[in-house]
Amino acid sequence: MPDIPSIKRPPKRLIEGILAIGAATASATLAHMGIRCAFMTGPTAWTRGRAMAGPALTLQFMPRREDLYDEGQYKDVEKQLHRHVLYQVKAGDVVVIDARGDMRSGIFGEMMMTYFKGRGGAGVVVDGCLRDFPHVGQLGVPLWIRGVTPNFHTQTDLMPFAVNVPIACGGVTVIPGDIIVADDDGSVVVPVKLAEQVIKDASVHHEWEEFSRERLEQGGELRRYYPLSDAARPEYEAWLKKKGKKA
């Protein structure tokens, strides 16, 4: 039986802070901190409207080599590494899979995803495909994937190779335990040691945004309202007063 390293999960407070920020703000804030692209390009939101954040468990696929992996002799289910990443799942965890962008290998099907749901997993990011989507799509598990296929994961060119090791997913290096945040914009990796700072920097929001959004929607001038110009500040303050708010 393979010996799988476990991950260190970040404090819930960090997870919640990052989730509240969302993928767009997380990515932009990280960029200003020097992380040029924390966005995993390729996997897209297949469960529109869902958002999630959580620590990454990782599963790595490699090009199949028949002397290293023989699906036909794959009798002992405990040898199947894609099961082992699921064994690690605790409530709130995110499974991130480097399936090498393969569009002909379906990593998990209905039973595996049902187990993931039962364990309280937060969501799944695959640089590749799931299978059995007529059933998997009904489970309500948030998914960021490249697509779906009826093929199973070792049917063509891949083999599962390692669990909870650093992987490349969608062009980003993911370290087990990194915080993943995802919504309709896609999925973003937040390094644990930067999470606190990301939350802090992102909280410096503009208190006038609600006012500006309202004015812009009414056809107000971009130059006047976004960012809030000095000329519009009295108008904003009147608006605040009317709303019974304080600047």
Candidates 9, 88, 53, 71; CA nearest to 198 is: 53
Least Å from the CB of residue 64 to a copy of itself: 8
Least Å from the CB of residue 190 to a copy of itself: 10
Residue whose token pair is 């924390």: 38
Q: What is the C-alpha radius of gyration for the chain, rounded to an integer number of angstroms?
A: 22
Among residues 14 and 215, whose Cβ is nearest to a copy of itself?
215
Distance CA 241, CA 64 (A): 66
Least Å from the CB of residue 11 to a copy of itself: 19
Among residues 189 and 199, whose Cβ is nearest to a copy of itself?
189
Instruction: Quote the tokens at residue 168.
Output: 């490349």
Among residues 59 and 215, whose Cβ is nearest to a copy of itself?
215
Least Å from the CB of residue 5 to a copy of itself: 15
What DSSP state is assigned to residue 230?
G
CB neighbourhood size of 73 (10 A): 8
Among residues 15 and 178, whose Cβ is nearest to a copy of itself?
178
Least Å from the CB of residue 66 to a copy of itself: 5
Amino acid at 55: P
Q: How far is CA 41 from the centre of its chain?
A: 11
Among residues 15 and 35, whose Cβ is nearest to a copy of itself?
35
Residue 83 main-chain phi, psi, to 5 deg: -70, -40
Least Å from the CB of residue 74 to a copy of itself: 11
Among residues 11 and 150, whose Cβ is nearest to a copy of itself?
150
Helix (H) or strand (E) holding 126: strand 123-126
Helix (H) or strand (E) holding 59: strand 52-63
Distance CA 19, CA 77 (A): 35
Instruction: Quote the tokens at residue 125.
Output: 């990011």
